[in-house]
Amino acid sequence: MSTILNEVLHANRNYSADFDKADLPMPPGRRFTILTCMDARLDPAKYAGLSEGDAHVIRNAGGRATEDAIRSLVISYKLLGTKEWFVIHHTDCGMETFNNEIMTDLLSKSLKTASVDSSGWHDCCEGPGSKEGKYINWLTIKDQAESVTEDVVRIKSHPLVPSDIPVYGYIYDVKSGRLIEVPAATAAGRVA
Amino acid sequence: MSTILNEVLHANRNYSADFDKADLPMPPGRRFTILTCMDARLDPAKYAGLSEGDAHVIRNAGGRATEDAIRSLVISYKLLGTKEWFVIHHTDCGMETFNNEIMTDLLSKSLKTASVDSSGWHDCCEGPGSKEGKYINWLTIKDQAESVTEDVVRIKSHPLVPSDIPVYGYIYDVKSGRLIEVPAATAAGRVA
């Protein structure tokens, strides 16, 4: 068994040994949802003060308002009753280090993990690669305040999102652990 | 200011007050990724024993292997060096309570939160609704072991996923906090 699998199962045995959350209902108790990045340095339960049962958490590369995030948000509200949503991107995000062309080019040469230095991304090795990278929009980020605002606007203007849901836009600072408001996003996410 | 926003910012001030994670690097230290459901009862950091900096966490409604999850997984491996992935669905998932037809019908009548009882889902009120629900595949779940296995198979067979990444399939039991292996998924996720 892999070391990681062994460690995860060991941690899970400890967690479940004194488990006292069996009676939590399915709908989030505090009725809100966070959309944020998959980045390993972010723990939304810790940075936003969540206990099990409190809130939905949606995460993807960048914390972007993709079709899949919209699918999840609509289910979160329509079927499970959340009433406020957060979009939280973060400083030093990997999504700022490349663009669609760089990713497509890297994947076409090799699927293996690439390395990065001051001159950019470099593939470790030749092949096997795939040209399929061009069929994915990688949704990279140039400016965090802009990406948060764009994503809040996209969510607020979606035809399946009721107009009375406030959407708050924040950037998580990985150096300080602080949530920093993006005023343009919060303004766009306001209930009219 | 909303009560929830106030509480989240208060919790964040406490978290950042004694923040000691400023030097964590961008790539996940333990080099693995978890794809799991947005459900409020699930805290992957707790149920799998993660600290900040350890692992990527991708979450959506159901923990499904959507195009967006694949986008995130490929970035996780190709640019940030993760080497093992988990797909973790869970018992008592909201995605088992409806299907595409039910959701499309509910949204066409009203965007507001619906209620559920033993006879199924009911809309609270008439309009405003939207017919846009039919353009989204809601990716509902009939059987958790099947959905985990399907998603592991989909990930393993994606042209941008290298063959040497093991993918483990588990179900999180919300009544016990335990991770339960899905043997068919783990078999499908094995490195050949």
Check: CB of residue A88 under 8 Å from CB of residue A179. Answer: yes
Average pLDDT over residues B111-127: 92
Q: What percent of chain B has pLDDT over 90?
A: 97
CATH code: domain B28-97+140-192 is 3.40.1050.10
Q: Of chain A residues 12-51, which have a CB less than 8 A from chain B?
A: 12-16, 19, 21-22, 24, 26-33, 38-43, 45-50
Look at residues B32, B187, B58, B172 and name the one whose alpha carbon lies nearest to residue A7.
B32
**Block residue for tokens 């629900």:** B133
**Block residue for tokens 């406020």:** A84
Distance CA A65, CA B139 (A): 18
CA distance B77 to chain A (A): 6
Looking at residue A127, its pLDDT comes to: 83
Q: Parse chain B into domains and list their residue ranges.
A: 28-97+140-192, 99-137
Q: Which site among B57, B103, B156 would you substitute to test the A interface, given the most A Cβ atoms closer than 10 Å to its Cβ?
A: B57
CATH code: domain A23-97+139-192 is 3.40.1050.10
Angle at CA B42, nearest 5°, toward A179 and A164?
A: 55
Looking at residue A1, its pLDDT comes to: 86
Interacting residues of B12 by C-beta distance below 8 A, sequence separation 6+: A47, A48, A49, A177, A178, A179
Looking at residue B146, its pLDDT comes to: 98
> What residue type is B35 in one-letter code?
L
Distance CA A60, CA A55 (A): 17
Does residue A122 belong to the interface with chain B, where contact is any CB pair within 8 Å? no
Grade residue B115 by pLDDT with cuts at 50, 70 and 90. Answer: very high
Of A15, A55, A138, the CB nearest to B40: A55
Looking at residue B125, its pLDDT comes to: 84
> What residue type is A48 in one-letter code?
A
In this predicted model, what pLDDT tens digit does every residue of B86-103 receive, in sequence order? 999 999 999 999 999 999
Distance CA B33, CA B139 (A): 21
A chain contacts of residue B42, beta-carbon cutoff 8 Å: 52
Regarding an ipTM greater than 0.95, the answer is: yes
Looking at residue B192, its pLDDT comes to: 76
Does residue A179 belong to the interface with chain B, where contact is any CB pair within 8 Å? yes
Average pLDDT over residues B7-36: 98
Looking at residue A54, its pLDDT comes to: 98
Look at residues B139, B131, B55, B58 and name the one whose alpha carbon lies nearest to residue B96.
B139
In this predicted model, what pLDDT tens digit does every residue of A118-165 receive, in sequence order? 999 999 888 899 999 999 999 999 999 999 999 999 999 999 999 999
CB contact under 8 A, A175 and B22: yes
* DSSP count for chain B of H helices, then E strands: 6, 7
Residues in chain A where the model's pLDDT stays below 70: none
Neighbours of B158 (CB within 10 A): 16
Look at residues A151, A150, A144, A155 and name the one whose alpha carbon lies nearest to residue A179.
A144
